Amino acid sequence: MNEIQTSALPFTVLGGFLGSGKTTLLNRLLNLTKETRYALLVNDFGELNIDERLITAHDGETIALANGCMCCSMADGFVSALTTVMERADQFDQMIVEASGVSNPGRIMDIAKLDPGLSPNGAIVLVDAPQFLNQLKDSMIKDAVLTQVKEADILVINKAHLTDQSTVETIKETLNTHNSDCTTLINDRLVFDPSPLFGSIDTAILKRRETLALVNNRGTAEQDHDHTHDQFHSCVLRQIKPIDRSTFESWATTLPPSVIRGKGFISFTESPHQQWIWQKVGRTYDLESSSEASGQSSMVVLIGTKEIPVESDPVTVSYTHLTLPTNREV
């Protein structure tokens, strides 16, 4: 089975208004990262609580860590920091840009869409649960807050444990009003592993050959599930025969909102020996032809909250269950 490979560096923007918890999330990411080598573009090193035992080099502009990650300061400008990372892009698996508290994450993402060396991996925007509704009442900051919400691919209601359930529900309704196409998650924990938000878990799963070897010879869809993350759930779906493209696209557009990310190789009946790379962020997805893979089988990794519904009988295909579609009528 082929592994997903791409020469472009996945580029994620982390946004959120001042005090929403971006730096705390990045600190968690750095402390928990093991296999994924992140290049983090941040506004201020001073706010990062980096374990000194991890630091292997520090030249004032960049901090290299023993786990393969690097932090790069944007004190001299975003373009300068971006250039620094791209000069050694082959050393990293992902680039994450911490947007300033008042910036538009969509404008930053536009850069990734123009650079062939970068692959847009979505904009994640954190919403400060205790402060969000009050922020919308403040005419001085309301527009900046809502702009970030509207540009998000994934919204995270952060620090939900610091407010009540009624407030959280009101926030969800408000977010849906301003960005109905976006997947919204709730973080009600003080400590959690944020790496699945950035799609990191799929790379690890795809490299587990013992998982990929279990292909059903009857040609029906199969699924595997990984329960290593308390807050997130992942599954690997496989289909040994090519899939009708329209059927697949219908399936992809009707996945439940609890599925926040997806990535995989897809083989379509229209060109059975050509594979396509499918990537999903929130409720949007892209398909692009792959020059590095061939074959008639398909495989997808999905990442979502623990509310992902699981079909116990993968032969019974339904658009509302997480199995890859067959070419039978549903």
Task: Give residue 36's pLDDT.
Answer: 85
| b/e map 56-75, b = 16+ CB within 10 Å | eeeeeebbbbebbbbbbbbe
Terminal-residue alpha carbon distance, the chain: 28
Which residues have CB under 8 Å from 312's CB, separation 6+? Answer: none
pLDDT band at residue 264 using 50, 70 and 90 as cut-offs? confident
Residue 243 carries which DSSP code?
Answer: B
Higher-pLDDT residue of 315, 172: 172
Q: Which of 47, 52, 51, 54 has its CA nearest to residue 73?
A: 47
Q: Which of 67, 94, 82 has its CA nearest to residue 8?
A: 94
For the domain made up of 200-305, give the CATH fold.
Hypothetical Protein Yjia; Chain: A;domain 2 (3.30.1220)
Using a pLDDT cut of 90, give the percent of the chain over it.
Answer: 22
- Write out pLDDT tens, residues 195-204: 888 875 444 4
Task: Give residue 318's pLDDT.
Answer: 32
Task: Give residue 100's pLDDT.
Answer: 85
In the numeric block, which tokens belong to residue 121?
A: 């991996």
CA distance 239 to 283: 22
pLDDT band at residue 167 using 50, 70 and 90 as cut-offs? very high
Exposed, middle or buried: residue 170 (CB in 10 Å: 0-12, 13-18, 19+)? middle
CATH second-level architecture of 9-195?
3-Layer(aba) Sandwich (3.40)
CA distance 315 to 134: 49
Q: Which of 221, 162, 213, 220 has its CA nearest to residue 188?
A: 162
pLDDT band at residue 270 using 50, 70 and 90 as cut-offs? confident
H helix runs in the chain, sequence order? 22-32, 78-86, 105-114, 132-135, 142-150, 165-178, 200-206, 209-212, 245-253
Q: Are 123 and 131 in contact (CB under 8 A)?
A: no
Angle between helices 142-150 and 105-114 (to 10 degrees): 40
Backbone angles phi, psi at 328, to 5 degrees: -80, 155
Residue 4 carries which DSSP code?
Answer: P
